[in-house]
Structure 1
Amino acid sequence: MEMLFFVAIAIIFGFIGGKLVHLLKLPGVVGYLLAGLILGPSFLNVFSLPLLDKLEVFTGFALSLIAFIIGSEMKLNTFKEMGKGIGVITLLESFGAFALVASGVYLLTHKLYFALVFGAMAPASAPAGTVAVLQEYKAKGRLTSALYAVVGLDDGLAIMIFALAIALAKLSLTGEEISTVSVLRGPVVEIFGSVALGAVVGVITGYCCRKIPREDGILAVSLGSVMICAGIANYLHFSLILANLTLGMVFVNLFSASNRKAYRAVQSISLPIYIIFFFVAGASLQIKLLPAMGILGLVYVVCRIVGLIGGAFLGATLSKQNSIIRKYLGLGILSQAGVAIGLAVLAAGELEPLGKAGEILAVAVVNTIAATTILFEIIGPIGTRFAISKAGEVGVNITEEDLIETYNVADVMDTESPVIPAGALLSDIIKVVSNTDNFYYSVVDNDKKLIGAITLDGIRKTFTIQELNDWLVALDIMEPIVASITPDIALAEALDKMKRLDIEYLPVVDSNRNDELIGVLNTRAVHRRLSAEILNKQRQADIAYGLQPA
């Protein structure tokens, strides 16, 4: 029970933090992190270090789910459209960060093993920060697709660079020769094992979801698959990020229809998961380490930023990507967190047994990476938001539900819906019906006050009383009004009311003018309009995606 209470505190205060930073035009991720930082050991200590250790199970699940979302965005046609560009960009931004950090640290310390180890930390990214911002701002376009692909591929390459650099650093410290095979065996097994695991679970998940028609069932299977994949990956010491990324990638490319349902379902529960993940990440940051960062940390931060941005720019230029990707992709991949800290701890374990120099390097790398992570956790999401804003890709990947939340009834009601006076003869009513394509007609009195409604079904029933046709007027055949609404009501509330009442039409009245009829809300017309607006936005995005000048 105590754990559930603290999870609730994390979600509530993280959400409030996200809303507050929105006032400063910052991504919600920054607010979640700051809320965790304030309630964590660095300040109020509501979330102590032992408690944060217990919450690791939530962060592991969140990271696995984020990896699955990244994989679901990595469609093969994206790679075909960008050609070899993604691979070239990923290689050059990773090696650019490694080379620049290693060079900067070497110039500062004049120690090769220091340079190699710190350089090995630089390529590791934090995909969660980038993905959370892309999701929050409903981003879609060429830059967004490139960001999903690069942060997805980044960590596999980072593991390889880390293994080689640590081996060379140990060689520099001890002078002992090291076999290339022994150096690469571990990373290769981890990478290929993770990919194989994710592929197998992805195929099984896809076949299972094909048999499930409802989204809630697909959500249950998808979440279960992500957890199983993460659990097996942890047990086998594979990368849960690469495994679940592959799961999502196999799922989206082999079972696209089921994946769309799974993606929508996962999206519907993603916000609280993001909040918990970044709240815990913020609480785990130790602000007291910032002063200890010193010149070495400053060199690491500056060189890593320049290396990533410069490497991404060079890769995009060489692979002839458009100007948007050249200018802004590097700004979207600056986040660094858990993976880098994990690599730093691994490096420390490898270096400490190698004597006094190894011990000094181990302490320096752990403290520096832990300190610089605080900066990159804040800078990274801000950089991503800036990049997608400049690229014009914010708010493009919207759904009908997103649009509904932005409208009131007045924005979408039909003000031209035919109105029938209460005293109109049946013959006159039939003329109105034959000249329009409506199914619903409001009936008003002399003061334009709504008193009832006539439907096509009601008119058909009237024809069963042939001998009374000449005597019937609108007042005789109209149906009572089940409900009405005012134009200032939120569209989401109005549609929810219509769904509960099982009706397709709802008259809109002006309460300030004695309930005078001013329009009709037609659910079919509303959904047609929203679908057209979404298609228009997506068409504009696709045009920008494919025709942006290089």
Structure 2
Amino acid sequence: MDHIQEFSNNISLGGVILFTLGAIFLVGLVAHELGKRTGIPRVTILLLTGALASPNALDLVPPIMHSWFPFVSQIALCMVGFLLGEQFVYRTLMKSGKVVWAITVSESLGAALVVFTVLYLLDVPIVVAILLAGIAPASAPAATIDVVKETHVSGDLPKVLLRVVAIDDFFGILIFALCISIVEFLGGTSNFYDELLHSFWEIGGAVLIGCVIGWPMAKLTGRLSKGEPLLIEALGFVLLTGGIAELSGSSYLLASIVLGAMVANFASHHQRPFHAIEGISTPLLIIFFLMAGFQFDITQLHTIGFIGGAYILARSFGLIMGGYIGANLGGADPVVKKYIGWCLLPQAGVALGLALMATEKYPEYSSEILSLLVGTTVIFELFGPVITRFSLINARKYQSSVKQHD
């Protein structure tokens, strides 16, 4: 035993970290190949692998790696936000903007209203029903963009999907703030307007930061050629934007999206910085998804129960019907109407973050909210990308059959 203790004491921390990172990247490679052969999204494989390696299962990961998750997730989501911003080119939005906004508003409200109605009818405490309704519209932009890239599906559906997911958080924050304000009002407290003002700053501050930093980035990008200087410049601006947004209390994801939109609209060679960031985002996203899996406690699945099942069905129905109604109101193509709602099912860390905010304000309901959200988030994050992938591939087949008939 003394020899084992002495050996463990002499293990280099740096060596452990290097070994773990190497193993993570190789697991990412295996997940990519396995995904191509099985049709299971890489995201789902990485999340499952992370869950199996977590302390709640096989406990294969050094404890120090768990402390990295908030830092890695912020960097990864800043890059995801920047890449999503490329979808917001003014000329393109003039063509599809009505569709995108109609779908986003409709699916967000649909998820919130259906979840509240179902839970209220099941005699869930009204405060819990309102808070869960506020969390329901939250999506998983990182998982969605990864599935879209992995499937290589082109056409209206993936374009609309990426734009909807990009501004989904905008409405998610507003709806959550409104739900918090309603709970405050019902409780007789005086924080109704404070909560709304805080949420408006979270959104407005992010837009302001993204615009202020995005303008010089757009102008500088056109003066740099491809290669290392452009990569350094792009990474510097993206991380600077995320850091300032986080320090100011606004949404770093939304700020990064606005930054990307500024570059997409005002840079003379706007595709270069997006290619640069996309090239280095893949390894970070592999770490991000595996670490997200580390946070899962598969043993919590038994806590879902009847109410959790009702939440899953209600959120799914609200998103699918809301997406369909919004696509009809916006005059979207038939393939978008048919599949957009199904592509919006993934739900991840944003929902858990909102749940933690809710339980901090209302600790008396923490066990009910967290026990349900942890289990249902595992379900949505594992199976949501599978449904998104299936819908995108079916949409491609649908478009091909329509072209053949034409």
For normalisation by structure 2, the TM-score amounts to: 0.91
Deviations 1:373-414 (A, max 9, x none): 1111112211221222122189x9xxxxxxxxxxxxxxxxxx
**Which one has a larger percent strand, Structure 1 or Structure 2?**
1
Residue 231 of structure 1: aligned partner: 243
Distance 2:245 2:61 in 1: 28
* 1:110–1:16 Cα change, 3 Å: closer
Contact 2:151/2:393, CA 8 A, preserved across alignment: no
Residue 371 of structure 1: aligned partner: 375
**1:270 CA drift (Å):** 3.0
Residue 40 of structure 1: aligned partner: 54
RMSD: 2.2
**Partner of 2:67: helix, strand, or coil?**
helix
**1:139 CA drift (Å):** 2.8
AA aligned opposite 2:345: L
Distance 1:53 1:339 in 2: 18
Deviations 1:421-466 (A, max 9, x none): xxxxxxxxxxxxxxxxxxxxxxxxxxxxxxxxxxxxxxxxxxxxxx
Matched, 1:99 2:108: no
Residue 217 of structure 1: aligned partner: 229
Distance 2:288 2:269 in 1: 27
AA aligned opposite 2:342: L
**Partner of 2:270: helix, strand, or coil?**
helix
Residue 359 of structure 2: aligned partner: 348
Distance 1:207 1:82 in 2: 27
Deviates more, 1:129-138 or 1:43-52: 43-52
Contact 1:39/1:47, CA 8 A, preserved across alignment: yes
Aligned length: 390
**Partner of 1:23: helix, strand, or coil?**
helix
AA aligned opposite 1:341: L
**Partner of 2:56: helix, strand, or coil?**
coil
Residue 144 of structure 2: aligned partner: 130
**Partner of 1:73: helix, strand, or coil?**
coil
Matched, 1:112 2:126: yes
Matched, 1:382 2:386: yes
**Partner of 2:396: helix, strand, or coil?**
coil
Deviates more, 1:93-102 or 1:70-79: 70-79
Residue 268 of structure 1: aligned partner: 279
Residue 335 of structure 1: aligned partner: 346
AA aligned opposite 1:74: F
Distance 1:238 1:213 in 2: 32
Distance 1:3 1:220 in 2: 25
Matched, 1:283 2:283: no
Contact 1:15/1:32, CA 8 A, preserved across alignment: no
Counterpart selection for 1:254 from 248, 262, 266: 266
Distance 2:56 2:189 in 1: 43
Contact 1:120/1:162, CA 8 A, preserved across alignment: yes
Counterpart selection for 2:332 from 321, 325, 328: 321
**1:110 CA drift (Å):** 4.7
**1:167 CA drift (Å):** 2.0
Counterpart selection for 1:152 from 166, 180, 197: 166
| Pairing 1:452-463 to 2, within 5 Å after superposition | none
Distance 1:389 1:177 in 2: 50
Counterpart selection for 2:307 from 282, 296, 319: 296
Contact 2:185/2:192, CA 8 A, preserved across alignment: no
Distance 2:285 2:70 in 1: 14
Distance 2:370 2:253 in 1: 22
* 1:267–1:274 Cα change, 3 Å: same
Contact 1:332/1:387, CA 8 A, preserved across alignment: yes
* 1:390–1:231 Cα change, 3 Å: same
**1:78 CA drift (Å):** 2.5
Residue 516 of structure 1: aligned partner: none
Residue 198 of structure 2: aligned partner: 186
**1:133 CA drift (Å):** 0.7
Matched, 1:25 2:39: yes
Bigger Rg over Cα = 1
**1:30 CA drift (Å):** 1.4
* 1:70–1:3 Cα change, 3 Å: same
Distance 1:299 1:82 in 2: 34
AA aligned opposite 2:372: T
Deviations 1:104-130 (A, max 9, x none): 111112532121011111001110110
Higher relative CO (Cα under 8 Å, sequence separation at least 6) belongs to 2
* 1:392–1:199 Cα change, 3 Å: same
* 1:108–1:227 Cα change, 3 Å: same
Contact 1:130/1:380, CA 8 A, preserved across alignment: no
**Which one has a larger percent helix, Structure 1 or Structure 2?**
2
Residue 80 of structure 2: aligned partner: 66
Unaligned runs of 5+ in 2: 1-13
**1:48 CA drift (Å):** 5.4
Distance 2:51 2:125 in 1: 34
